[in-house]
Amino acid sequence: MHRANARDLAAGILVTVIGLLFLAGAMGLRFGTTRNIGPGFFPIVLSIILIGQGILLTASSFKTPGDFPKIAWRPLLLVAGAIAAFIVALLFFGAVPAVMATVIVGSLAEGRPSFSIFALAVFLALAIWLTFVVGLGVPMPALRSPFG
């Protein structure tokens, strides 16, 4: 008995858990009969398929050993942070600051913000504002006071 393939083991467990969650979420839905299929039919059948696939993947992960892949925490957290910054900044300050915040937080995922990044942020903020707000008429204030 050797070590499991950590990547597939994790994948198998993840799929099984997702299947179980979707199955739990489908519990209140009517399954129906094959003649009159209810809203729960597809979700329940698919959740069961997912659970089965997850268990198979978990079982097969014990065939060959392997390491869990390295997670790129910095890009992951900072790209996520950049989107979160967009939501918060748009909510309180408007579109132009939101785009700039996204670019600046996002730039931290790889290296440090430099002058050129700041220039890019300003350029993108204006370009996006012109295209989406002025050009396409998306209802999105360019600037907004958090106290207004």
Partner 1 sequence: MNLLDNLLLGFQTAFSLVNLTYCFFGVTIGTFIGVLPGIGPLAAVAVLMPVTFYMDPTAALVMIAGIYYGAEYGGSTASILLNLPGTASNAVTCLDGYPMAKQGRAGVALFTTTMTSFIGGSLGILLLILFAPKIADFALSFRATEYVAVMLLGLIAAAVVTQGSAFKGLIMVAFGLILGTVGVDLDSGVPRYTMGIFELRDGISIVIIATGLFGISEMIFAIHGGRAAGSVQPVKLRSMLPTSKDLAASGGPALRGAAIGSMIGALPGTGVTLAAFMSYALEKRIARDPSRFGKGAIEGIAGPESANNAAAQTAFIPTLSLGIPGSPTMALLLGAMMIHGIAPGPLLMTERPDMFWGLVASFWIGNVLLLILNIPLIGVWVRILRIPYRFLYLGILPLICVGVFSLRGSYVDVGLVLGVGIFGYFLRLLHFEPAPLLIAFVLGPMLEENFRRAMALGRGDLLYFFQDPLGSVLLISTGLILLLAVAAPAFRWMRHKKPERPGFGSS
Binding site for partner 1 (CB under 8 A): 7-8, 10-11, 14-15, 18, 22, 25-26, 29-30, 33-39, 42-43, 46-47, 49-50, 53-54, 56-57, 63-64, 69, 71-72, 75-76, 79-80, 82-84, 86-87, 90-91, 95, 98-99, 102-103, 106-107, 109-111, 117, 120-121, 124-125, 128, 131-132, 136, 138-140
For 5-59, give the DSSP string.
BHHHHHHHHHHHHHHHHHHHHTTTS--B-SSSB-TTHHHHHHHHHHHHHHHHHHH
In whole angstroms, the minimum distance from the beta carbon of 61 to partner 1 comes to 11
Sign of the torsion angle spanned by Cα atoms 31, 37, 38, 42: positive
**Identity at 123, one-letter amino acid code:** F
In whole angstroms, the minimum distance from the beta carbon of 4 to partner 1 comes to 14
